[in-house]
Amino acid sequence: MIDVQTISILLVAGLLTGFSKLSVGGMGLLILPVLMISFSGPEALGLILPIYCLTDLIAITAYRQQINWPLLWRLLPMGLLGVVVGGWVLTEINAEQFTIMLGIIVVAMVVLGIWLDYRPAMFMRHRLVAYITGVASGFISLVANAAGPIMSLFMMEQRMSKQAYVSTRAWAFFMMNLIKIPVLWSLGVMHWESMYTSFYCIPGLLVGALIGAKLLEHIKPVHFKWLIRIIALMAAVKLLVIN
């Protein structure tokens, strides 16, 4: 039987996911730390993945034009390698080490996001960088669900149209999350019981998506982005110091 606090945490995680996907994005850094209030790190990974796949389906349904397939085919094979490496790492570390690793990754992704605001990244157009980005995105996505900044950095530098950028990014995350399912399932992190538990996120997800869609035109992304970064850093401090 799931207690009231756990259900509340699941609803909040769903709300953050829905709001992020249907508005300005960037909340992936927060969702896993929120779930870890009631669940261990690896267990939280298995819980949130079905909800991510559901929201990804919504995204690829909305954004299905001008997809840059050649770019995806450079990223995804190496993304699979990154996911496999991430799966191996999860088998080699304990819960405390996972918490520390997650805190470090959150801080690194916040720093990367700030760096992107002020520095060009022309080197991201090199073919070799596509392979490195694929590995890094797969690894970070599996162990922290926080590959958004590095994936965005790479795709923003590919000189794509806005429609192609949004569509290609949506499909990249959808395929990456599909790749993660058999890995997490084989590790015992994701299973039928965890999928059932993740259904408690759905009401929050629907509410968050509705709020995000309604407020999208009224939100100033630059202010919201800094709010997310501050909250993410606070979460990282909790993971690294308090735990």
Give the mean pLDDT per block of 10 residues along the chain (243 residues). Answer: 84 84 66 84 87 84 80 87 92 84 82 72 64 87 80 74 78 90 92 91 86 67 67 74 60
Integer Cα distance of 173 and 175 in angstroms? 5
What pLDDT does residue 26 have? 62
pLDDT in tens, 133-166: 889 889 988 888 878 777 777 777 777 777 787 7
Give the ranges where the chain is alpha helix by DSSP (H).
Answer: 4-22, 28-35, 41-62, 69-92, 95-118, 127-144, 148-156, 162-186, 192-198, 202-215, 221-237
CA distances from 206 to 18, 45, 53, 213 (A): 6, 20, 14, 11
What is this structure's pTM?
Answer: 0.80
Q: pLDDT tens digits, residue range 76-101?
A: 889 999 999 999 999 988 878 888 88
End-to-end Cα spacing for the chain: 26
Tokens of 208: 């968050």
Q: How far apart are CA 148 and CA 7, in angstroms?
A: 26
What does each C-alpha distance from 5 to 24, 39, 206 come to in angstroms? 28, 11, 20
Write down the domain spans for the chain: 4-242
Residue type at position 94 = N
